Amino acid sequence: MKVPFVDLKQQYLSIKEEMDAAIQSVLDNTSFIGGSVVLKFENDFANYLGVQGCVTCANGTDAIEIALQALGISKGDEVLVPAMSWIATSEAVSTVGARPVFADVLPGKFTIDPEQVKKKITPATKAIIPVHLYGKPAEMTEIMDIARVNGLKVIEDCAQAHGAIYRGRKVGTFGDVGTFSFYPGKNLGAYGDAGCMVSNNSEVAEKFRMIANHGQQGKHNHVMEGRNSRLDTIQAAVLNAKLPYLEQWTNARIGHATHYNECLKDLGIVLPELDESRHVFHLYVVNVMNRDEIKSQLAELGIATQIHYPNALPVLAPYGEKAEDYPVACGLAENGLSLPIFPELQKAQIEYVAGQLMSMKK
Ligand SMILES: *Cc1c(COP(=O)(O)O)cnc(C)c1O
């Protein structure tokens, strides 16, 4: 049996008619930047999350950069970032001239550890970027408390967590800003690069709009220098066609993760927690000894797996820190294995993957 890691084609075919019509209507109107299609997505996504303002941009990395700029973070500032994430999280901090300072992640949960965050705060610290890694909400109550006590801004990196819920509220609505990526493989994916920033603070949301569109407040009124980071209308049309399905697709992911957990419960390994918060399973990551060997054995059986990520951020070349200082993140880098998960995955495929893993135990 073949089990791909993701299958974007299946999803496209399941909504082909409406998707083709949505893209065709942009072609018919030949209006390719901005306009009502983009505004519709911003309104609908803000309503979906339960947040006041949503401003789209070119990708999820830009979204973090624009969020940092809108909050006034720049040269000389330090920003706390989890030791395990995609490099975009720390890269964005450096791009605005600030310095990323890493905090290790929590054992078993793999989101930023609030106790480690406290230890890394200095007079130069200006913000924390919790990442809802793999779709699991970070410990937002503790993080918001730390931020309040220390006067820090909070930017939630929600690139892997569209629709994830923490204590009754969607992620992205707790911090000063929430940032999203709509990269094709994300839980809500465009057919190219796309991203957005959300905020309940209308002044901050206005800044997003200005920064993302050359500092303009109305046409040719450049009140500051910004940049070009806009969402293409075709991508907005794709996202509009997909948003109504996000809940259904998310529930399918959660169902698959639940089934994996049942099938793998006797394996004696660390499985993702299914707790009271809503983990949306962008990725289903297990921790196994001999990870690389298991990965290649699964590949031979037709099962595609990936590693997210093979190195903790602090040990990467641009940062050059020691692995011993980040034991949890480095352990995950060594043992974490992402199994196939996507809404259209079949129960029989999950059972095949789990069965092969179980038989490797013996
Ligand atoms: C994908 C991702 C990003 C960056 O999004 P792009 O749209 O690819 O720029 C940022 N943070 C995390 C955690 C991601 O997974």
pLDDT tens, position by position, 77-135: 999 999 999 999 999 999 999 999 999 999 999 999 999 999 999 999 999 999 999 99
Q: pLDDT tens, 14-64?
A: 999 999 999 999 999 999 999 999 999 999 999 999 999 999 999 999 999
Ligand 1 and 181: CB distance under 6 A: yes
- Nearest-atom number in ligand 1 for the CA of 133 is 13
Ligand 1 close to Cβ of residue 340 (< 6 A): no
Does the Cβ of 178 fall within 6 Å of ligand 1? Answer: no
Q: How far is CA 139 from CA 9, 84, 110, 151, 171, in A?
A: 35, 15, 10, 18, 11
Indicate if ligand 1 lies below 6 Å from the C-beta of 88: yes
* Residue carrying structure tokens 């921790």: 287
> Distances in Å between the alpha carbon of 187 and those of 132, 159, 161, 219, 334?
13, 9, 7, 34, 25
**Whether residue 235 has its Cβ less than 6 Å from ligand 1:** no
Assign 361 a pLDDT band (cuts: 50, 70, 90): confident
Laid out side by side, the sheet with 177-181 consists of 53-57, 195-199, 177-181, 153-157, 125-128, 78-82, 99-103
pLDDT grade for 274, boundaries at 50, 70 and 90: confident
What's the CA-to-centroid distance between 111 and ligand 1, angstroms? 15
Among protein residues, the one with the nearest Cα to ligand 1's atom 1 is 159
Query: How many A from CA of 49 to the centre of ligand 1?
Result: 19
Ligand 1 centroid–CA 293 distance in Å is 28
pLDDT band at 13 (very low <50, low <70, confident <90, very high): very high
Listed in order, strand segments (DSSP E) in the chain are 53-57, 78-82, 99-103, 125-128, 153-157, 165-166, 169-170, 177-181, 195-199, 284-287, 336-339
d(CA 83, CA 328): 9
Determine the pLDDT at residue 148: 98
Q: What is the mean pLDDT of residues 127-144?
A: 98
How far CA 170 is from CA of 48, 162, 173, 174, 246, in Å, comes to: 9, 8, 6, 8, 14
Identify which of 206, 223, 280 has the alpha carbon closest to the alpha carbon of residue 52.
Answer: 206
Return the structure tokens found at 278: 């809503």
Q: Where are the alpha helices (DSSP H) in 71-187?
A: 88-95, 114-120, 140-150
Query: Which of 79, 86, 95, 156 to mutate to test ligand 1, by most ligand atoms within 8 A of the CB atom?
Result: 86
pLDDT for 362 equals 58
Per-residue pLDDT at 14 = 97
| CB contact at 8 A, 4 and 340 | yes
Ligand 1 and 85: CB distance under 6 A: yes
Q: Is 137 in the pocket of ligand 1 (CB under 6 A)?
A: no
Indicate if ligand 1 lies below 6 Å from the C-beta of 183: yes
Q: Is the pLDDT of residue 223 over 70?
A: yes
To the nearest whole number, what is the mean pLDDT of the chain? 97
Which protein residue has the closest C-alpha to ligand 1 atom 6? Answer: 60
C-beta atoms surrounding 82 within 10 Å: 30
What is the gyration radius of the CA atoms in the chain, in angstroms?
20
Do 59 and 195 contact (CB within 8 A), yes or no? yes
Q: Which atom of ligand 1 is nearest to the CA of 182?
A: 7
Please give the angle made by the CA atoms of 208, 214 and 218, to the nearest 5 degrees. Answer: 80
Which of 246, 192, 308, 328 is CA-nearest to residue 45?
246
Strand partners, 103: 82
User: Cα(55) to centroid of ligand 1, in Å?
Assistant: 16
356 CB within 6 A, ligand 1? no
- Alpha carbons 26 and 17: distance in angstroms, whole number: 15
